[in-house]
Amino acid sequence: MTTTTPAAGIAGLDELPAKDQIAIGTTLTRLLGGFSRRNADLLKGVYSDDADWVNAFGSEKKGGPEIIDYLRGLFADQNFDNGQLVAAPHSVLRRITDDVVTVSTHLQISGQGLVGGGAIPLRDNHSLRILHKQPDGSWLIVSEMYSASRTDQTYVNHS
């Protein structure tokens, strides 16, 4: 892997040992590639067998095979496919231990379709991934959660 990969732009990645940078970069590049190409097969080897996953709409999945199966259906859905990235994602890596990192990502998507018609004008999407180093040196996602910012307020001092 070279610094031309999408993962190379992740803030904090360069603070890790080179082997970990490559392994984490490989996992995150495969994740981004799977989503951008709408190809769930690219996600094999990205999630651990016991990974937990929650999307911004509340769907919960457990384990790599179940997550990938769900994403295969999502990627085939025209409503999801209509969504287009507004700009490159912004990601920040934080080392928790030598074997655990988090990666928080912010991205914006326009035009994602809604069931029953219409589209979400702009999805302001945040995600948090926990990656765990495996005995073979690879890094897998063990937990992933997505959220979408809302414009309505329930707290007067929200900012």
Residue 157 lies in a domain: no
Is residue 155 domain-resident?
no
Strands 60-62 and 47-54: antiparallel
Containing structural domain, residue 25: 7-148
Paired tokens of 40 = 């769930």
CB atoms within 10 A of CB 72: 15
Decide: residue 67, CB within 10 A, 0-12 exposed, 13-18 middle, 19+ buried: buried
Write down the mean pLDDT value for the chain. 90
Asked, for residue 2, whether it belongs to a domain, the answer is no
Residue 4: its pLDDT value, please? 38
CATH number for the domain harbouring residue 111: 3.10.450.50
Distance CA 12, CA 89 (A): 15
**In whole angstroms, what is the distance from residue 83 CA to residue 33 CA?**
15
Model confidence over 71-107: pLDDT tens digits? 999 999 999 999 998 988 899 999 999 999 999 999 9
Q: Is residue 64 part of a domain?
A: yes
Query: How distant, in Å, are the alpha carbons of 61, 73, 74, 84, 150 from that of 78?
Result: 21, 10, 8, 12, 23
| Residue 144 forms part of a structural domain | yes
| Residue 128 covered by a domain | yes
Q: What is the pLDDT of residues 129-155, one digit of tens each?
A: 999 999 999 999 999 999 987 766 667
Confidence of residue 157 (pLDDT cuts 50, 70, 90): confident
The angle at the Cα of 80, spanning 78 to 105, to the nearest 5 degrees, equals 160
Q: How many domains does the chain have?
A: 1
